[in-house]
Amino acid sequence: MKRISVVIPCYNEENCVDEMYQRLTAVFAAEPEYDYEIIYVDDCSKDKTRERIELLCRQDRRVRAVFNARNFGFSRNVFQSLQYASGDAAFLLFGDLQDPPEMLPTFLRWWESGKKVVAGQRRKSEEGFVMRLCRRAYYRMIDALADTPQIDLFNGFGLYDRCFLDVIAQIDEVAPFFKTVVGEYGMDLVLVPYDHAKSRRGRSNFNFLKNYDFAMQGLTSSTKMLMRLATFVGCFVGFVCLLLSVYVFLNKLLNWDHYAVGDASVAIGIFFLGAVQLFFLGILGEYILSISARVQHKPRVVVARWINFDAPAAQGTPAQRDMQPEARPDPRPSAEDEYSAAH
């Protein structure tokens, strides 16, 4: 019997935890030929998300939980969450129920036909017009500049075969940009359209700064064109300035007593060149930040608590030990095992 690992990254999803579980178990009840596990991965929620997940873990031993020690951010938590899947395939969806669990049977049919990555592609969204327009423009820009093909209107929702999970487990980056990773390594990929619902959370966890950080991470992970553009623009502006300097010099020679260089033109030129330099210094800074994060080799997340996983049974609290299922391979990095042992 094939096993499907349902991976659900969460942050402040107390209103969605129970409904997500009910809808998923209903889906698997209609697909009895598959075994399954449901893994909630909470990124240090501030509401009652963890309490709701703990209750489900007590009621159903197929429900597992991973509680991060602190909030490590969307990208790091999502990518690391897939490392906990032990099944033949991992079904990734997000805790706010914008991605329908009922799409799983469709994904499974494609997977059984030989597709290694079955990605959900939004065809309609309940987002506001301005946000939808900005998001579409951003991904169009990435797609135009990226070194590898990008998946439009894709947020990670999909079904991933074990061979793909084994490939991404080799990626040694703190915060990989998952969209770019799927675009680059997602062989035998098929896109399945679906309708993106409105978040049950009520409000987005992403403010302007988080959206900006996510956008810059995507740009620096997927393309080198911006830095090359800086070189091209610098050469072009330098060439224009050289021509302008020759023009001013010749005019001064031919009209020595009547020609005067205006203060306004000088000021405009200075401010223009300064703006160009500052803009591309900012782009350079984003690339340096991205490189810095990748070369530090820090752990992607640190886990504070595991529930219904076998490996911490001898290390956790008595309450955790009582909630351990049958033995199975431990998917976690050894660094996190050491942290759990210390706590």
pTM, full prediction: 0.70
SS (H, E, C) 206-230: CCHHHHHHHHHHHHHHHCCHHHHHH
* pLDDT value of position 314: 29
Position 86 pLDDT exceeds 90: yes
Task: Quickly count: other Cβ atoms within 10 Å of residue 226's Cβ.
Answer: 15
Q: Are strands 158-161 and 89-92 parallel, antiparallel or unpaired?
A: antiparallel
* pLDDT value of position 155: 86
- State how far the Cα of 332 lies from the Cα of 334, in Å rounded to an integer: 6
Q: At what angle do helices 263-295 and 225-254 cross, to 10 degrees?
A: 160
Question: What is the CB-side half-sphere exposure of residue 24 using CA atoms within 13 A?
Answer: 29
Q: The tokens 């939808």 sit on which residue?
A: 132
* pLDDT value of position 328: 40
Indicate the helix (H) or strand (E) that contains 131: helix 129-145
Indicate the helix (H) or strand (E) that contains 121: strand 117-125
Q: At what angle do helices 129-145 and 208-222 cross, to 10 degrees?
A: 20
* Stated length of the chain: 343
pLDDT digits (tens, 9 = 90+) for 305-339: 999 997 433 233 333 333 333 334 444 444 444 33
Using a 10 angstrom Cβ sphere, with 0-12 exposed, 13-18 middle and 19 or more buried, the burial of residue 209 is exposed
- 237/211: higher pLDDT: 237
Comparing 53-67, 70-84, 116-130, which segment has the lowest mean pLDDT? 116-130
Q: In the beta sheet, which residues pair with residue 34?
A: 2
Candidates 3.40.120.10, 3.40.50.10880, 3.90.550.10, 1.20.1250.20; CATH matching 2-132+149-205+299-342: 3.90.550.10
pLDDT digits (tens, 9 = 90+) for 201-211: 655 555 556 66
Contact by Cβ (8 Å): 39, 6 = yes
Computed over every residue of the chain, the mean pLDDT equals: 78
